[in-house]
Amino acid sequence: MHSATQALGDPSNAIKKRSVSINGRRTSVSLEEPFWMSVRAAAMEHGVKLSTLLNHIEFSRGPNHLSSAIRVFAFLYASGAIPNAMWDSLHSRSR
């Protein structure tokens, strides 16, 4: 079996509930580990606080659930579809 296919059934990739702070209030999101790792890596790679990135995702998500919006962000990030202008905007907010 291909290693990527094996990862689909890996118990460490199961949905986990995480407590996060969004716009100064505590909430929880249920998210698979690979998506969480991708969002954390994106924030770290671009020198942005994770809370700042999560605030941006929350603000931009429209009617979608926060967990779904985070998954979409992680996919877009992995696809290289996040514009540099967004990161520039987040840098100015986190100062």
- Reply yes or no on whether the pLDDT at 1 is more than 60: no
Contact 56, 86 (CB under 8 A): yes
What pTM, to 2 d.p., does this model score?
Answer: 0.82
Domain-embedded: residue 3: no
> How many domains does the chain fold into?
1
State the Cα–Cα distance between residues 8 and 25, nearest whole angstrom: 33
- Reply yes or no on whether the pLDDT at 18 is more than 90: yes
Comparing CA positions, the residue from 43, 37, 29 lying closest to residue 86 is 43
Given this model, what pLDDT does residue 88 score?
75
Q: How confident is the model at residue 13 (pLDDT cuts 50, 70, 90)?
A: confident
Domain that holds residue 50: 10-93
Domain-embedded: residue 1: no
Comparing CA positions, the residue from 52, 28, 29, 30 lying closest to residue 42 is 52
Kindly report, residue by residue over 27-55, the tens digit of the pLDDT.
999 999 999 999 999 999 999 999 999 99
- The domain that contains 79 carries what CATH number? 1.10.3990.20
